[in-house]
Chain A
């Protein structure tokens, strides 16, 4: 974890004072809603269907046990006993009163947390690999770079009034776990010759109503060039990006309209002007990297672990599904599923948050991560601790062995909470999870990503689901369109839409036909649904959705 500095702390305290005064002026009538709205959005505060919603930043998904305990306190004292983790590694509180928000922000600032730039037309929370710093397949730890970008982008005077929001993701693994091809800027780090890391800068990716796979702007940036190059990219968009139509305002639209070559020429021209900015960034990066506390590695007997693995089938299944290789063989990266069948994806209760904070202190050196798939990660768990960890997680409903399986569904808050949604997402996710569990098909089907968004804004990344589900409204009723074959990682693909939408009542049967068709067509259990879709094309599956026989079946 990065400890944060006095500068950060002073900034947060000052911001809390400012916002407290702004809320007072709004309540007294001195500020109109029109005047207040941009101020509250600069501090992550939305008005949703039932209450105010506060989106709290979890910088690049890294959270300490102390911070998580504070989030639990906030949920208990000022909210309704739970929080919702998002696909951008943040947490949202759904039931706040405006009058309590200053107190909530003060409680957050106390542990170095805030809601700055989690909304509005600014650079949003930088996201990265939830396994960063411990993954066996990464070329370097991306977190210091994420922290450098966080420091640079926070309150950056040039980038507070961008044409629209701007999202940056960084990945340093061989496997891209940060969805870099679908961000305004995605950074892929790799080790260059002589150990000198190089960065691929991907620009203009995104989802929403215009899903686009990002294009490579530069493939060979050195770390020291990165900050001025990103700044040059933003400056070009800030100057030429559209501001007349919010649906055309994202950088992807500018890149598409100029073409990547012309866009690159503009960025290079800006870069020539700006390459001297932040000359101290390599030194700053080095000192940030030094400040990151590295996990302590200890040698312990693995006998308990091996015995449990051999004798406890449930434990073995959880290890297989929810544990990932750590760069130290004796350790594991544990994905704690917030997707118990029938629960709300990404929600954690106060009790669960407190249990996770305690467990992080006991077995993961006080650290947690929030993943893009709305789960919690314990990044440094000695394998000897895994049996007791599994037992403790099961006691609070967090031991579901379903990471990466059908019920590990990403769902946005949908019309149950969100004022933009056209249809509900959460009940659909709950029904799918419990239905296929009762059929006993989940393990048989194997790795499968289902992503459900309640509107075209695509907060749940439905375009990237192996099965994507998009909520729509038809004649005043909710309905759901299915997309097939999406993928967020290196084989980035946008799912293709499959004809007429289904009512909520028709959806389960359609998915059941689809997945039975997959089981019939796949080339053995090792062929994932996504791969099978890619090999055969989506047509055979489309036929199954609508209950028609297929030539390929």
Chain B
């Protein structure tokens, strides 16, 4: 992946069983909540954790590092694709709103 100098990162993936978006926590676990994610500022550590996640395919798929912007309520993905993974589809419509 492209290195983003200086920007904090989080490690994210999809859970093997559910396919749901998960975020790697400080404890080394995977959480469905971005707020639980460990924010990584050391790129060497980030790459090491990514390599570890790539070997953990009995738990998660498609692991990748993604830059975040730090706000009052914790990290928020800087890239739209990961923001949508975090928030769910943006599309309105009664069908989706009723979920």
Contacts A33-B57, A81-B99, A476-B79 given; indicate if A49 touches B85 (C-beta within 8 A): yes
Q: Are B17 and A50 in contact (CB-based, < 8 A)?
A: no
On chain A, the residues within 8 Å of B62 by CB distance are 47, 419
Partner of B84, one of A33, A97, A343, A415: A415
Q: List, in ascending order, chain B residues with CB within 8 A of A26's CB.
A: 16
Which residues B70-99 have CB closer than 8 A to chain A?
79-81, 84-85, 88-96, 98-99
Could you tell me if B91 and A344 are in contact, using CB atoms closer than 8 angstroms?
yes
Residues of chain A from 525 to 552 with CB closer than 8 A to chain B in the complex: none
Identify which of A291-299, A358-366, A422-430 touches chain B: A422-430
A51-B18 in contact given A415-B80, A416-B84 (Cβ < 8 Å): yes
Contact pick for A99, options B17, B94, B99, CB 8 Å: B17
Complex CA gap A12/B64 in Å reads: 37
Inter-subunit contact A82/B95 (CB<8 Å) = yes
B58 close to A (CB within 8 Å): yes
**Cβ-defined partner of B14 (8 Å) among A47, A82, A430:** A47
Q: Tell me which of B61, B79, B80, B95 contacts A47 (CB under 8 A).
A: B61
Most buried by A among B61, B84, B92, B95: B95
Residues of chain A contacted by B6 (CB below 8 angstroms)? none
Residue of A nearest to B59 (CB): A29
Residues of A within 8 A of B93 (CB): 342-344, 347, 426, 430
Q: How many residue pairs bridge A and B at CB < 8 Å?
A: 86
Interface residues of A in 218-277 (CB under 8 A from B): none
For residue A457, CB closer than 8 A to chain B, the reply is no
A49 with B81: CB separation less than 8 A: yes
B1-23 CB contacts (< 8 Å) to partner A: 14, 16-21
Please state if A50 and B92 are interface contacts (CB–CB under 8 Å): no
List A residues 395-421 near B (Cβ within 8 Å). 397, 415-417, 419
User: Chain A's nearest CB lies how many Å from the CB of B62?
Assistant: 7
> Given A47-B62, A98-B19, A415-B84, A343 and B94 touching (CB < 8 A)?
yes
Contacts A47-B61, A342-B93, A347-B93 given; indicate if A415 touches B17 (C-beta within 8 A). no
Residues of chain A with a CB closer than 8 A to B89's CB: 50, 416-417, 426
Contact B16–A349 (Cβ < 8 Å): no
A50 touches B88 (CB 8 A): yes
CB distance from B90 to the nearest CB of A (A): 6
CB pair B17–A478 under 8 Å, yes or no, is no
A97–B91 touching, CB < 8 Å: no
Q: A47-B14, A47-B61, A416-B89 are in contact. Are A344 and B19 (CB under 8 A)?
A: no
Cβ–Cβ contact A344 & B84, under 8 A:
no
Q: Which residues of B contact A419 (CB under 8 A)?
A: 62
Q: Does A156 contact B (CB under 8 A)?
A: no
Chain B residues contacting A343 (CB-CB under 8 Å) are 93-95
Contact string against B for A residues 93-123, beta-carbon threshold 8 Å, 1 for contact and 0 otherwise: 0001111000000000000000000000000
B63 CB to nearest chain A CB (Å): 11
Cα(A12)–Cα(B89), bound, Å: 33
How many residues from A make CB contacts under 8 Å with B?
Answer: 36
Q: Complex: how many Å from CA A446 to CA B16?
A: 48
* Also in contact, A342 and B20, with CB within 8 A (given A32-B57, A47-B14, A49-B81): no
| Cβ–Cβ < 8 Å partners of B80 in chain A | 415, 476-478
A80 within 8 A of B: yes
Is there a chain B Cβ closer than 8 Å to A27's Cβ? yes
Enumerate chain B residues within 8 angstroms of A32, measured Cβ to Cβ: 57
Per-residue A-contact encoding for B38-68, CB less than 8 Å = 1, 0 else: 0000000000000000000110011000000
Partner of B98, one of A81, A424, A478: A81
Q: How far is the CA of A348 from the CA of B91 in the complex (A)?
A: 14
- Contact check: which of A27, A33, A424 meets B17 at CB < 8 Å? A27
Alpha-carbon distance between A245 and B17 when the two chains are bound, in angstroms: 31
A2 part of interface (Cβ distance < 8 Å): no
User: Smallest Cβ distance from A305 to chain B, in angstroms?
Assistant: 30
CA–CA, A385 and B7, complex, Å: 63
Which single member of B18, B20, B21, B95 contacts A349 (CB below 8 Å)? B95
Partner of B92, one of A82, A417, A430: A430
Answer whether A80 and B85 are a contact pair too, CB < 8 Å, given A33-B61, A97-B19: no
Q: Which of A4-41 contact B (CB under 8 A)?
A: 26-27, 29, 32-33
- Cα A476 to Cα B77 with chains together (Å): 13
Chain B residues, Cβ within 8 Å of A159? none
- Cα A47 to Cα B62 with chains together (Å): 9
Q: Which of these, B20, B91, B94, contacts A50 with CB under 8 Å?
A: B20
How far does the alpha carbon of A427 sit from the alpha carbon of B94 in the complex, in Å? 13
B-chain residues with CB within 8 Å of residue A502 when the two chains form the complex: none
**B81 to chain A: closest residue by CB:** A415
Give every chain B residue within 8 A of A52 (Cβ-Cβ): 19
B13 to chain A, nearest CB (A): 11
Contact B84 A49 (CB under 8 A): yes
Q: Do B95 and A50 touch (CB < 8 A)?
A: no
Task: Compute how far the CA of A416 lies from the CA of B58 in the bound complex, rounded to whole angstroms.
Answer: 26
- Which B residue sits closest to A34, measured CB to CB? B57
Contact A98 B95 (CB under 8 A): no
CB pair A427 B90 closer than 8 Å: yes
A49-B81, A342-B92, A348-B95 given. 4 additional CB < 8 A pairs?
A82-B96, A98-B16, A415-B81, A430-B92
A-B contact pairs, 17 of them (CB 8 A): A27-B16, A47-B61, A48-B19, A49-B81, A50-B21, A51-B18, A80-B99, A81-B98, A82-B95, A97-B17, A98-B18, A99-B17, A343-B93, A344-B95, A347-B93, A419-B62, A426-B93
Binding site for A on B (CB under 8 A): 14, 16-21, 57-58, 61-62, 79-81, 84-85, 88-96, 98-99
Q: Which residues of A contact B (CB under 8 A)?
A: 26-27, 29, 32-33, 47-52, 80-82, 96-99, 342-344, 347-349, 397, 415-417, 419, 424, 426-427, 430, 476-478
